[in-house]
C-alpha cells in the first residue's frame, strides 16, 4: 500500500515565476520532466523517452497543481501528487510544498528524486 509523504522547499523567487514553473507545460519541461504536453486535462510527462500520463485534478492559479497518475486511477481518490505554493507575507519567500505517495520501500528514493528536481528548479530560476 502506498504511503503519503510531504516535502517543503523555500525558494527566493516571485509568485509569478514559480506559478509559471509549476503551472505550465513549458515551465514543467524545464525542471520536472524532459518534455510535458497537455491535452484537455491529461498531462504527458516524458523522461528519457518513457511517457507517464497524469490527469490534472486541481489547478489554482498562484497556489496549487494536483495530479493523479493514470496508473493510480483505479485506486480511487487515495493517490495523487500535488505542488502547493505559499508566500510568507512577512519575508516574501516562497514555499513549495510537495505532497506525493509511494510504496514504503520507494519513499526515500522518491524524496531524493523530488530534491534533485527542485534543485534543478532552483538553478533555473536563480533561487
The Cβ of residue 109 has, within 10 Å, a number of other Cβ atoms equal to 10
- pLDDT on residue 92: 85
Q: Which long-range contacts (CB under 8 A, 24 or more apart) does 114-121 make?
A: 114/7, 115/7, 117/31, 117/32, 118/7, 118/9, 118/31, 120/30, 120/31, 121/11, 121/21, 121/30, 121/31, 121/32, 121/96
Domains present along the chain, CATH in parentheses: 3-125 (3.30.530.20)
pTM of the predicted model as reported, rounded to 2 decimal places: 0.91
- pLDDT on residue 1: 86
- pLDDT on residue 76: 65
Report mean pLDDT in 10-residue bins for the chain, 127 residues.
95 91 96 96 96 96 94 80 93 93 95 96 91
Distance between CA atoms of 96 and 41, rounded to whole angstroms? 22
Amino acid at each position: 500500500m502506498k504511503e503519503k509523504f510531504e516535502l517543503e522547499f523555500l525558494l527566493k523567487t516571485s509568485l509569478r515565476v514559480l506559478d509559471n514553473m509549476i503551472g505550465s507545460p513549458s515551465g514543467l519541461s524545464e525542471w520536472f520532466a524532459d518534455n510535458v504536453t497537455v491535452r484537455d486535462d491529461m498531462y504527458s510527462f516524458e523522461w528519457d523517452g518513457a511517457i507517464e500520463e497524469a490527469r490534472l485534478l486541481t489547478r489554482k492559479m498562484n497556489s496549487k497543481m494536483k495530479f493523479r497518475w493514470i496508473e493510480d486511477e483505479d485506486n480511487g481518490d487515495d493517490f495523487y501528487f500535488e505542488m502547493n505554493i505559499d508566500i510568507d507575507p512577512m519575508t516574501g519567500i516562497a514555499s513549495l510544498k510537495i505532497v506525493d505517495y509511494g510504496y514504503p520501500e520507494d519513499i526515500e528514493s522518491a524524496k531524493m528524486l523530488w530534491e534533485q528536481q527542485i534543485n534543478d528548479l532552483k538553478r533555473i530560476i536563480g533561487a
